Structure 1
Amino acid sequence: MNPTMQPTRIEKNATDVCHMVLDSATEDVLAVGPSPAVIDGLVAVLSQHESAPTVRLLATESVLKEAVGEFTDASAIADLVADDVLSLRASAARLDGPLLLTDERVVSLVTTDERAAGLATDDAEFVGAARNHYADYWTDADPFNLRTPPLSRVQETLETEFDAELADDFEAMRIALAESEGDLDEVDISLLTAARNEALLYDISTWGESVGLASRATFSRKKTHLEERGLITTEKVPIDVGRPRLRLLLGDDRLQEADAGEVVAVAAGLLAAVQ
Structure 2
Amino acid sequence: MTLLGSPTAAASYRTLLSDIDSSSNIFVGGLREQSTEAFINALDMFDDPPAVRFLTNGSVLKWMRRDFHVASLAADLTASDTLVLRDTEDDIENTLLVTDDSAIPLIAGDGQTVTPETDSEYVEAIQQHCSNAWEKHTEFNLRTPPRSRVYETLAEQLSDDMQSDYQTMLEEIGSTRSGRGETQDGDNLLNEVGLALLSGARQTELLYDLSNWGDRISLASRATFSRLKSKLEEHDFLETEKVPIEVGRPRQRLLLAERLHKFDADELPYAVRDELENSSD
Structure 2 length-normalised TM:
0.89
CA 1:9–1:250 in structure 2 vs 1: closer, same or farther (change >3 Å)?
A: closer
Give the alignment's Cα RMSD to 1 decimal.
1.8
Tell me which of 86, 89, 95 is aligned to 1:89: 86
Counterpart in the other structure of 1:118: 114
**What is the match of residue 188 of structure 1?**
194
Between the aligned partners of 1:10 and 1:263, the Cα distance in structure 2 is 37
Match of 2:123 among 121, 124, 127: 127
List per-residue Cα deviations over 1:44-67 (Å, max 9, x = no partner).
Answer: 232111222100000000111222
Q: Deviations over 1:85-141 (max 9, x none)?
A: 0010001222123210001100001222x3352331101011011011111111111
Q: Deviation per CA, 1:184-215, whole angstroms, max 9, x where unpaired?
A: 21110111111111000000000111111100
Contact 2:55 2:88 in 1 (8 A): yes
* Matching residue within 247, 261, 264 for 2:266: 261
Residue 28 of structure 2 is matched in structure 1 by 31
Partner residue, 2:2: 9
Deviation at 1:172, TM superposition (A): 1.2
Query: How far 1:74 moved relative to its partner?
Result: 0.8
Match for residue 223 of structure 1 among 204, 223, 229: 229
Change (3 A) 1:118 1:51: farther
**How many percent of aligned residue pairs carry the same amino acid?**
36
Which residue number corresponds to residue 243 of structure 1? 249
The match for 1:5 is: none
Aligned to 1:99: 96
CA–CA distance in structure 2, aligned partners of residues 243 and 20 of structure 1? 56
**Pairs within 5 Å for 1:138-217:** 138-178=134-174, 181-183=180-182, 184-217=190-223
3-state secondary structure, aligned to 2:84? strand
Indicate the SS of the match to 1:212. coil
Greater shift in the superposed pair: 15-24 or 192-201 = 15-24
Cross-structure match for 2:74 = 77
Q: Does the residue aligned with 1:187 lie in a helix, a strand or coil?
A: helix
Query: Is the Cα–Cα contact under 8 Å of residues 86 and 137 in structure 2 kept in the other structure?
Result: yes
Do the aligned partners of 1:17 and 1:116 also contact (CA within 8 Å) in 2? no
Q: Per the alignment, in what secondary structure is the counterpart of residue 227 of structure 1?
A: helix
SS of aligned partner of 1:271? helix
Larger proportion of helix? 1
> What's the TM-score once normalised by structure 1's chain length?
0.91
Q: Which runs of 5+ in 2 are unaligned?
A: 183-189
Partner of 1:53: 50
1:182 Cα offset (Å):
2.3
Amino acid in structure 2 at the alignment position of 1:268: R
| Structure 1 gap segments, 5+ residues each | 1-7
Deviations 1:228-263, CA, capped at 9 Å, x for gaps: 11111110000011000000101241x111111111
After the TM superposition, which of the residue ranges 186-195 and 115-124 deviates more from structure 2? 115-124
CA–CA separation in structure 2 for the residues paired with 1:56 and 1:268 = 37
